[in-house]
Amino acid sequence: MEILDLRHFSSVDLRPLLNDETRVWASLLSWDYNGSAEMILRYVDAKILPGYAAIERGRIFGYSFFVYEGSKGVVGDLFVANGARVPNAREVELKLLTHVIETLQQSPGIHRVEAQLLAHEAGSVARPFLDQGFQRYPRLFMVLELTNATPQAPAMHPEVEIRRWTEADYQPAAAVITAAYRGHVDAQINDQYHTLSGSLRFLNNIVRFPGCGLFDAESSYAAVDRKAKNLIGLILCSRVRGDVGHVTQVCVLPEYRSRGVGESLLAATSTNLRKRGFSMLSLTVTEANAGAVILYRRLNFESKRVFDAFVWEG
Ligand SMILES: CC(C)(COP(=O)(O)OP(=O)(O)OC[C@H]1O[C@@H](n2cnc3c(N)ncnc32)[C@H](O)[C@@H]1OP(=O)(O)O)[C@@H](O)C(=O)NCCC(=O)NCCS
C-alpha cells in the first residue's frame, strides 16, 4: 500500500471510491452525497484539491482531502473502502489522517486546523489528532422522523414573530450568529462564529454553496421582535436528500432565550417539511451544548450517531 498526493490522480481514478462513499453516506446519514462527490471530482480534475490517496496495485481505495481558508486548514473528508480488498481499513484511515495532519501543521501560515468527521464513529480515528495536540469535541447526529401527526405549536412570547427567511436577513443574521455564540463551545469548534465577517462567510457557505446540501429557503425562518422589528433568532435548513432536511443553523439572541423561540423555529421548519412530504429532519449538536440537546430530545429528535470534531491551534 502506498500513500500518494491526491493531485497525481483524476476523477476517473477517484470516481469508483466516491460511489462507495455515496452509498455509505446514504445508509449512515440519509444524506445524498452525489452533489459533494461531483464537486470533489471537479477539484480533483483541476488538480487543486490537496490531500492523499491510498493506493494498492494502481487503484485508489482510500483518500482524505483538506482545504485552506486563510490561516486555517479544514479536513474536508476521509474515506476508506471497506471490504475483502482492504484487510485493515482502520490502519489506512489513520495513515491518511497522519499525513493530512502533518501537512497542515507544517504549512506556513497555518495556525489552526479543524476537522469534523460525520461518517466516523466517535473515538474511532481520534488517535492521530490527540497525538498531535488536538482538542476533541464529541457531537451528536440527531434525527426527527416527520410522521403525519403535526405537533402542537408551542406557546411563545407575544412580542416575537416567526416569519419566512428572506435575502434581506443575511447581514442581521450574521450579527445574531456572532452574538449567540459568544463564549459558546461551538465557537471553539468553528472560529467563523467569532467575528461578523466570519459569520457572514459561514452564511455564504451554507446559503450559496452546495457543500452541505442545497439551502432550502422555504423551510428556513427568522424570529423578529415585533416592536423593535429586529432579527433575534433564525433557523436555516438545507435539503440533503430529496425528502430529508438538515438544520445547518439555529440560534437565538441570549436575551430572548427560554421563551420558546428556539422551539417555535424548529416547529416552523418541521411543519413546513412535513407539509411538503419530507420524511426526516436531521441536525448535529455538540454533546457539551447540554441545553440544546435537552431541547432537541424534548422535541423527539433521536440521537443516531456520535462523531468527533477536532481543533488544533498552533
Ligand atoms: C439552543 C437555542 C437555539 C434554544 O433557543 P431558546 O429560544 O432558548 O429555546 P426555547 O426557549 O424554545 O427552549 C428552551 C428550553 O430548552 C432547554 N434549553 C435550551 N437552551 C438551554 C440552555 N442554554 N441551558 C439550559 N437549557 C436550555 C431548556 O429545556 C429550556 O427550557 P426553559 O428555558 O424553559 O428551562 C438557544 O439556546 C441558542 O441560541 N443557543 C446558542 C446557539 C446554539 O447552541 N444553537 C444550537 C446549535 S446545535
Q: Each residue of 123-181: pLDDT tens digit?
A: 999 999 999 999 999 999 999 999 866 667 677 778 999 999 999 999 999 999 999 99
Give how many domains the chain has, as a whole number: 2
Which set of grid coordinates corresponds to residue 262? 428556539
Report the chain (314 residues): mean pLDDT per 10 consecutive residues: 96 97 96 94 96 94 95 96 77 97 97 96 97 98 87 78 96 98 97 96 88 91 97 98 97 96 96 96 98 97 98 96
Residues 249 and 196 in one domain: yes
Residue nearest to atom 24 of ligand 1 (CA): 291
Residue 270 CB coordination number (10 Å): 25
Is there a domain that residue 311 lies in? no
Q: Which of 133, 160, 179 is the last residue of a domain?
A: 133
The whole-number pLDDT of residue 85 equals: 64
Span from the CA of 255 to the centroid of ligand 1 (angstroms): 11
* Per-residue pLDDT reduced to its tens digit, 201-219: 999 999 988 777 899 999 9
Boundary (domain end) residue, out of 133, 166, 195? 133
pTM: 0.94
Instruction: Please tell me whether residues 149 and 278 are part of one structural domain.
Output: yes
Residue 260: count of CB within 10 angstroms of its CB: 16
Residue 84: per-residue pLDDT: 59
**CATH number of the domain enclosing 82:** 3.40.630.30
The answer to the question of residue 269 being in a domain is yes
Same-domain status, 98 and 9: yes
* Residue 263 CA, closest ligand 1 atom number: 12
Same domain for 150 and 54?
Answer: no
Residue 87 has what pLDDT?
67
Same domain, 168 and 293: yes
Co-location of 181 and 271 in the same domain: yes
Please provide the DSSP assignment of 60-111 as one string: EEEEEEEEEETTEEEEEEEEE--BTTBTTHHHHHHHHHHHHHHHHHHSTT--
Distance from Cα 295 to the centre of ligand 1, integer Å: 6
Residue 209 has a pLDDT of 80
Residues 181 and 244 both lie in one domain = yes
pLDDT for the residue 156: 75
- Looking at the fold, whether 280 and 151 belong to one and the same domain comes out as yes
Residue 178 sits in the same domain as residue 273:
yes
**133: phi then psi, degrees, rounded to nearest 5:** 85, 20
281 and 148 in a single domain? The answer is yes
Does residue 313 form part of some domain? no
Residues 243, 276 share a domain: yes
304 near 144, Cβ under 8 Å?
no
The reply to whether 314 falls in a domain is no
C-beta atoms surrounding 195 within 10 Å: 12
Question: For the chain, percent helix, then strand, then coil, each to nearest 5?
Answer: 40, 30, 30
Atom from ligand 1 closest to the CA of residue 247? 48
Range of the domain at 71: 2-133
Q: Is 112 helix (H, G, I), strand (E, B) or coil?
A: strand
Q: 94 and 12: one domain?
A: yes
Give residues (CB < 6 A) around ligand 1: 180-181, 184, 186, 250-252, 257-263, 285, 289, 291-292, 294-295
